[in-house]
A and B are shown apart, each in its own frame.
Chain A
Amino acid sequence: MSDIIQQFWRAFLWSDGYHFSGVAITLWLLAISIAFGFVVSIPLSVARVSKNKLLAWPVWLYTYVFRGTPLYVQLLLFYTGMYSLDVVRNHEMLNVFFRDGMNCTLLSFGLNTCAYTTEIFAGAIKATPYGEIEAARAYGMSRFTLYRRVIIPSALRRALPAYSNEVILMLHATTVAFTATVPDILKVARDANSATYDSFDAFGLAALLYLCITFVLVALFRRAERKLLAHLRPMNG
Chain B
Amino acid sequence: MKKTIAALSVVMLAASLSVSAKEIRFGVDASYAPFESKATSGELVGFDIDLGNEICKRLHADCKWVENDFDGMIPALKAKKFDGILSSMSMTEQRMKEISFSSKLFNTPTRMVAKAHSGLLPTAASLKGKRVGVEQGTIQETYAKTYWAPKGVDIVPYKDQNQVQADLVAGRLDATLQDAVEASEGFLKKPEGKGFDFAGKNVVDKKTLGEGAGIGLRKEDVALKADIDKAIASIIKDGTYKKLEKKYFDFDVYGK
Where the two chains meet, the residues of A that have a C-beta atom closer than 8 Å to any C-beta of B are 17-18, 80, 83-84, 89, 99, 101, 178-179, 181, 183, 187, 190-191, 193-195, 197, 199
Contact = CB atoms under 8 A, between A and B. Distances in A.
Given A178-B159, A181-B156, A191-B136, A197 B98 contact: yes
B136 A199 contact: no
A83 B172 contact: yes
A183 B71 CA distance: 19
A99 B172 contact: yes
B126 to A, nearest CB: 18
B136 A190 contact: yes
Interface string B131-166: 000001100000000000100001111110001001
Given A83-B171, A181-B158, 13 more contacts: A18-B154, A18-B155, A84-B166, A84-B170, A89-B170, A89-B171, A99-B172, A181-B156, A183-B157, A195-B94, A197-B74, A197-B75, A199-B75
Contacts, number: 44
Nearest to A191: B136
Nearest to A80: B166
Secondary structure of the A contact surface, majority rule: helix
B72 A199 contact: yes
A190 B137 contact: yes
A17 B148 CA distance: 13
Given A84-B170, A190-B136, A181 B157 contact: yes
A89 B169 CA distance: 12
Contacts of B137: 190-191, 193-194
With a 10 A CB-CB cut-off, give which of A80, A179, A197, A199 has the most chain B CB atoms: A197
Contacts of B136: 187, 190-191, 194
Contact of B170 (A83, A181, A183, A194): A83
A89 B74 CA distance: 43
A25 to B, nearest CB: 13
A194 B163 CA distance: 19
Contacts of B158: 181
A194 B71 contact: yes
Nearest to A200: B75
7 contacts: A83-B170, A99-B172, A101-B172, A178-B159, A179-B159, A181-B167, A183-B157
A84 to B, nearest CB: 6
Contacts of A83: 170-172
A13 B128 CA distance: 27
Given A178-B159, A181-B157, A195-B94, A17 B149 contact: yes
Interface string B48-72: 0000000000000000000000011
Contacts of A181: 156-158, 167
Contacts of A199: 71-72, 75
Nearest to B72: A199
A18 B145 CA distance: 10
Contacts of B167: 181
Name the 10 nearest CB pairs between A and B, nearest first: A194-B137, A197-B74, A83-B170, A181-B156, A18-B149, A84-B170, A194-B71, A197-B98, A197-B75, A99-B172
